[in-house]
């Protein structure tokens, strides 16, 4: 792929609560430079990049003295916007993908349609409220923000699992692996948009 054809985008988003800068390259090597100020969240984004083979730069300054909510949600918004920009008109992509992602005792199913019609079904529950200092309810908040801004129809369901870290990790890894398949260029499409409507 020539540099001119690279699927990549950068987004800056600043509010009274956060200052978020992200760069997202779909056809990367899994290289990530992540600094959100939230350690567990950094870990999730690093493995998201690695398993999606995305190149990802994320720098966030947020109101962590309040809590982690705004930082996590606004990062999801910016990453979703960058993903959508990087895909442009979605010509030639595979579009659909699904995966069952095991993480030790946990199994999570992720199914994606890069549809342009954002919708999230998130059937994952945590038995604890925190992983270290990270609120487990923020996992869903990030997926919601990312899916809505990326234009994804996204279904995430943890079929079983006990350890909260494993459950969260299986969700992020599952999303990464499914996206990696869905954004792949299908040579049989011949550069067409994969829809009978002619647009997504």
> Does an H or E element contain 110, and which?
strand 106-113
Tell me what pLDDT residue 5 has.
Answer: 62
Tens digit of each residue's pLDDT (9 = 90 or more) over 51-89: 999 999 999 999 999 999 999 999 999 999 999 999 999
Rounded to whole angstroms, the Cα distance separating 56 from 34 reads: 8
* Strand order through the sheet with 55-62: 8-14, 18-25, 55-62, 32-35
Inter-residue contact 145 to 73 (CB < 8 Å): yes
Tens digit of each residue's pLDDT (9 = 90 or more) over 132-168: 999 999 999 999 999 999 999 999 999 999 999 999 9
Rounded to whole angstroms, the Cα distance separating 185 from 190 reads: 9
Tens digit of each residue's pLDDT (9 = 90 or more) over 10-58: 999 999 999 999 999 999 999 999 999 999 999 999 999 999 999 999 9
Tell me the pTM. Answer: 0.95
- Long-range contacts of the stretch 95-102 (C-beta < 8 A, 24+): 95/182, 95/194, 95/195, 95/200, 96/182, 97/178, 97/179, 97/180, 97/181, 97/182, 98/178, 99/174, 99/177, 99/178, 99/181, 100/159, 100/174, 101/170, 101/171, 101/173, 101/174, 101/177, 102/170
């Amino acid at each position: 792929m020539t540099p001119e054809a690279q699927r990549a985008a950068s987004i800056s988003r600043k509010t009274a609560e956060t200052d978020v800068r992200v760069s997202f390259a779909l056809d990367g090597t899994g290289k990530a430079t992540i600094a959100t100020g939230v350690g567990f969240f950094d870990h999730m984004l690093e493995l998201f990049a690695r398993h999606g083979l995305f190149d990802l730069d994320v720098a966030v300054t947020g109101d962590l003295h309040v809590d982690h909510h705004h930082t996590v949600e606004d990062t999801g918004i910016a990453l979703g916007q960058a993903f959508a920009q990087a895909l442009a008109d979605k010509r030639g992509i595979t579009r659909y993908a699904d995966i069952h992602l095991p993480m030790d005792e946990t199994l999570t199913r992720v199914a994606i349609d890069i549809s342009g019609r954002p919708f999230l079904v998130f059937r994952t529950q945590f038995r604890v409220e925190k992983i270290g200092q990270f609120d487990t309810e923020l996992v869903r908040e990030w997926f919601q923000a990312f899916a809505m801004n990326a234009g994804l129809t996204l279904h995430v369901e943890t079929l079983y699992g006990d350890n909260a870290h494993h459950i969260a990790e299986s969700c992020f890894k599952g999303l990464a692996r499914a996206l990696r398949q869905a954004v792949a260029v299908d040579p049989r499409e011949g550069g067409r948009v994969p829809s009978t409507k002619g647009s997504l």
